[in-house]
Amino acid sequence: MRVWQRSLWGIALGTVLLLAASLVQAAEFTATMVTKAGGVEIPGKIYVKENKVRNEVQAGGQTSIHILRPDKKVVWIIIPQQKAYVEMPITHTAQQKMLPLTEDQKAKMKKVGTETINGYACDKYETTMSHQGKPMQVFTWVATDLGVPIKIVSEDGSFSMEYKDIKPGQVADSLFDVPQDYKKMQLPFAMPPSK
Protein backbone atom coordinates (compact mmCIF):
# COMPACT_ATOMS: atom_id res chain seq x y z
CA MET A 1 0.00 0.00 0.00
CA ARG A 2 1.34 3.42 -0.95
CA VAL A 3 2.24 5.95 1.75
CA TRP A 4 -0.28 8.53 0.48
CA GLN A 5 -3.05 5.92 0.61
CA ARG A 6 -2.16 5.12 4.21
CA SER A 7 -2.25 8.81 5.00
CA LEU A 8 -5.69 9.27 3.41
CA TRP A 9 -7.02 6.20 5.19
CA GLY A 10 -5.64 7.58 8.43
CA ILE A 11 -7.46 10.85 7.84
CA ALA A 12 -10.67 9.02 7.06
CA LEU A 13 -10.38 6.82 10.13
CA GLY A 14 -9.61 9.83 12.29
CA THR A 15 -12.69 11.57 10.93
CA VAL A 16 -14.90 8.57 11.68
CA LEU A 17 -13.58 8.34 15.22
CA LEU A 18 -13.95 12.07 15.75
CA LEU A 19 -17.57 11.93 14.74
CA ALA A 20 -18.30 8.84 16.77
CA ALA A 21 -16.80 10.51 19.82
CA SER A 22 -19.27 13.33 19.41
CA LEU A 23 -22.50 11.35 18.98
CA VAL A 24 -24.92 12.56 21.62
CA GLN A 25 -28.25 11.08 20.56
CA ALA A 26 -29.68 8.32 18.40
CA ALA A 27 -29.28 9.90 14.96
CA GLU A 28 -30.00 7.90 11.80
CA PHE A 29 -29.04 9.38 8.44
CA THR A 30 -26.87 9.22 5.33
CA ALA A 31 -24.87 12.05 3.79
CA THR A 32 -22.20 12.94 1.29
CA MET A 33 -18.98 13.74 3.12
CA VAL A 34 -16.31 16.04 1.73
CA THR A 35 -12.97 16.00 3.55
CA LYS A 36 -10.11 18.33 2.61
CA ALA A 37 -6.62 17.74 3.97
CA GLY A 38 -3.25 18.92 2.72
CA GLY A 39 -4.83 20.51 -0.34
CA VAL A 40 -6.47 17.21 -1.36
CA GLU A 41 -10.25 16.79 -1.50
CA ILE A 42 -11.43 13.34 -0.47
CA PRO A 43 -15.04 12.53 -1.45
CA GLY A 44 -16.98 10.07 0.61
CA LYS A 45 -20.27 8.86 2.02
CA ILE A 46 -21.30 8.53 5.65
CA TYR A 47 -23.97 6.34 7.24
CA VAL A 48 -24.95 6.83 10.88
CA LYS A 49 -27.30 4.70 12.96
CA GLU A 50 -27.34 5.34 16.70
CA ASN A 51 -23.66 4.99 17.66
CA LYS A 52 -22.63 2.97 14.57
CA VAL A 53 -20.81 4.77 11.77
CA ARG A 54 -19.86 3.68 8.24
CA ASN A 55 -17.54 5.90 6.23
CA GLU A 56 -16.80 5.20 2.54
CA VAL A 57 -13.86 7.07 1.01
CA GLN A 58 -12.62 7.20 -2.59
CA ALA A 59 -8.84 7.64 -2.89
CA GLY A 60 -6.56 6.85 -5.80
CA GLY A 61 -9.36 5.13 -7.69
CA GLN A 62 -10.01 2.73 -4.81
CA THR A 63 -12.68 2.56 -2.14
CA SER A 64 -11.91 2.27 1.55
CA ILE A 65 -14.68 1.58 4.04
CA HIS A 66 -14.39 2.15 7.78
CA ILE A 67 -17.04 0.81 10.13
CA LEU A 68 -17.04 1.90 13.76
CA ARG A 69 -18.87 -0.47 16.11
CA PRO A 70 -18.55 0.73 19.73
CA ASP A 71 -21.03 -2.00 20.75
CA LYS A 72 -18.47 -4.61 19.62
CA LYS A 73 -15.47 -2.43 20.60
CA VAL A 74 -13.99 -2.65 17.08
CA VAL A 75 -13.24 -0.62 13.97
CA TRP A 76 -13.23 -2.52 10.70
CA ILE A 77 -11.31 -1.26 7.67
CA ILE A 78 -12.84 -2.96 4.64
CA ILE A 79 -10.99 -3.23 1.32
CA PRO A 80 -13.58 -4.23 -1.31
CA GLN A 81 -10.98 -4.59 -4.09
CA GLN A 82 -9.35 -7.44 -2.14
CA LYS A 83 -12.49 -8.78 -0.45
CA ALA A 84 -10.61 -8.32 2.81
CA TYR A 85 -10.79 -6.39 6.07
CA VAL A 86 -8.67 -5.38 9.05
CA GLU A 87 -10.05 -5.35 12.58
CA MET A 88 -8.76 -2.94 15.21
CA PRO A 89 -9.90 -3.04 18.83
CA ILE A 90 -11.39 -0.04 20.57
CA THR A 91 -10.25 -0.24 24.17
CA HIS A 92 -10.55 2.60 26.67
CA THR A 93 -6.85 3.45 26.27
CA ALA A 94 -7.09 3.23 22.48
CA GLN A 95 -10.07 5.59 22.54
CA GLN A 96 -8.10 8.09 24.57
CA LYS A 97 -5.25 7.91 22.04
CA MET A 98 -7.36 7.88 18.87
CA LEU A 99 -10.32 10.08 19.59
CA PRO A 100 -9.59 13.78 19.27
CA LEU A 101 -12.61 14.61 21.46
CA THR A 102 -12.53 12.83 24.81
CA GLU A 103 -15.22 13.53 27.41
CA ASP A 104 -12.85 15.96 29.15
CA GLN A 105 -12.16 17.79 25.89
CA LYS A 106 -15.87 17.96 25.03
CA ALA A 107 -16.43 19.61 28.41
CA LYS A 108 -13.82 22.23 27.43
CA MET A 109 -15.43 23.05 24.08
CA LYS A 110 -16.43 26.70 24.00
CA LYS A 111 -19.72 27.58 22.31
CA VAL A 112 -19.06 30.59 20.08
CA GLY A 113 -22.39 30.98 18.31
CA THR A 114 -25.11 29.41 16.20
CA GLU A 115 -25.30 29.07 12.42
CA THR A 116 -27.30 27.22 9.80
CA ILE A 117 -25.19 24.73 7.80
CA ASN A 118 -26.74 22.88 4.86
CA GLY A 119 -30.23 23.58 6.20
CA TYR A 120 -29.52 22.47 9.77
CA ALA A 121 -29.46 24.73 12.82
CA CYS A 122 -26.06 24.22 14.45
CA ASP A 123 -24.26 25.18 17.61
CA LYS A 124 -20.75 26.33 16.72
CA TYR A 125 -17.92 25.35 19.07
CA GLU A 126 -14.24 26.16 19.32
CA THR A 127 -11.79 23.71 20.84
CA THR A 128 -8.13 22.70 20.78
CA MET A 129 -7.18 19.22 19.54
CA SER A 130 -3.84 17.52 19.42
CA HIS A 131 -2.63 16.81 15.88
CA GLN A 132 0.75 15.10 15.43
CA GLY A 133 1.70 16.24 18.94
CA LYS A 134 0.86 19.89 18.32
CA PRO A 135 -2.20 21.87 19.42
CA MET A 136 -4.67 22.74 16.64
CA GLN A 137 -7.61 25.15 16.97
CA VAL A 138 -10.76 23.62 15.48
CA PHE A 139 -14.28 24.93 14.86
CA THR A 140 -17.09 22.37 14.99
CA TRP A 141 -20.71 22.85 13.95
CA VAL A 142 -23.03 20.39 15.73
CA ALA A 143 -26.51 19.98 14.18
CA THR A 144 -28.97 20.30 17.07
CA ASP A 145 -31.53 17.98 15.41
CA LEU A 146 -28.99 15.24 14.67
CA GLY A 147 -26.67 15.66 17.64
CA VAL A 148 -23.55 15.19 15.50
CA PRO A 149 -20.96 17.51 13.97
CA ILE A 150 -21.78 18.21 10.32
CA LYS A 151 -18.86 20.55 9.71
CA ILE A 152 -15.34 20.69 11.16
CA VAL A 153 -12.70 23.23 10.09
CA SER A 154 -9.21 23.79 11.48
CA GLU A 155 -8.42 27.42 12.19
CA ASP A 156 -5.47 27.37 9.79
CA GLY A 157 -7.58 25.83 7.02
CA SER A 158 -5.36 22.75 6.67
CA PHE A 159 -8.26 20.38 7.37
CA SER A 160 -12.02 20.47 6.89
CA MET A 161 -14.89 18.02 6.81
CA GLU A 162 -18.49 18.73 5.89
CA TYR A 163 -21.67 16.68 5.46
CA LYS A 164 -23.82 17.63 2.47
CA ASP A 165 -27.10 16.22 1.14
CA ILE A 166 -28.03 14.92 4.59
CA LYS A 167 -30.93 12.47 4.38
CA PRO A 168 -32.52 11.49 7.71
CA GLY A 169 -34.22 8.10 7.70
CA GLN A 170 -33.67 4.41 8.22
CA VAL A 171 -30.26 2.95 7.47
CA ALA A 172 -29.91 -0.82 6.91
CA ASP A 173 -28.20 -2.72 9.74
CA SER A 174 -26.25 -4.76 7.15
CA LEU A 175 -24.18 -1.68 6.27
CA PHE A 176 -22.48 -1.94 9.68
CA ASP A 177 -21.22 -5.50 9.32
CA VAL A 178 -18.32 -7.06 7.40
CA PRO A 179 -19.51 -9.08 4.35
CA GLN A 180 -19.39 -12.79 5.22
CA ASP A 181 -17.14 -13.72 2.29
CA TYR A 182 -14.41 -11.19 3.19
CA LYS A 183 -11.11 -12.46 4.60
CA LYS A 184 -9.58 -10.99 7.77
CA MET A 185 -6.02 -9.76 7.23
CA GLN A 186 -3.28 -7.69 8.84
CA LEU A 187 -1.83 -4.62 7.14
CA PRO A 188 1.51 -2.97 7.97
CA PHE A 189 -0.22 0.19 9.10
CA ALA A 190 -2.80 -1.53 11.32
CA MET A 191 -2.63 -0.26 14.86
CA PRO A 192 -1.41 -2.74 17.49
CA PRO A 193 -3.89 -3.63 20.21
CA SER A 194 -3.86 -1.24 23.18
CA LYS A 195 -4.63 -2.15 26.75
SS3 of residue 11 by DSSP? helix
The DSSP line for 96-129 is HHH-S--HHHHHTPEEEEEEEETTEEEEEEEEEE
Give domain status of residue 7, yes or no.
Answer: yes
- Please give the pLDDT value at position 103: 52
- Please give the pLDDT value at position 188: 59
Sign of torsion, CA 91 97 99 104? positive
84-89 vs 183-184, strand pairing mode: parallel
Sign of torsion, CA 69 62 33 29? negative
Regions in the chain scoring below 50 on pLDDT? 1-13, 15-24, 94-102, 189-195
Give domain status of residue 188, yes or no.
Answer: no
Give domain status of residue 12, yes or no.
Answer: yes
Give domain status of residue 158, yes or no.
Answer: yes
Give domain status of residue 195, yes or no.
Answer: no
Give domain status of residue 165, yes or no.
Answer: yes
Give domain status of residue 190, yes or no.
Answer: no
Neighbours of 178 (CB within 10 A): 18
Nearest partner of 121 among 103, 142, 135, judged by Cα: 142
pLDDT tens figures, 120-140: 999 999 987 766 677 778 898
For the domain that residue 155 is a member of, what is the CATH number? Answer: 2.50.20.10
Sequence-distant (≥ 6) Cβ neighbours of residue 176 within 8 angstroms: 47, 49, 52, 54, 67, 69
- Please give the pLDDT value at position 30: 93
- CA 160/CA 64 separation, integer angstroms: 19
- Please give the pLDDT value at position 118: 92
- Domain limits for position 162: 3-180
Show the CA angle centred on residue 123, arms to residues 121 and 126, nearest 5°.
145
pLDDT tens figures, 5-28: 344 444 444 544 444 444 445 578
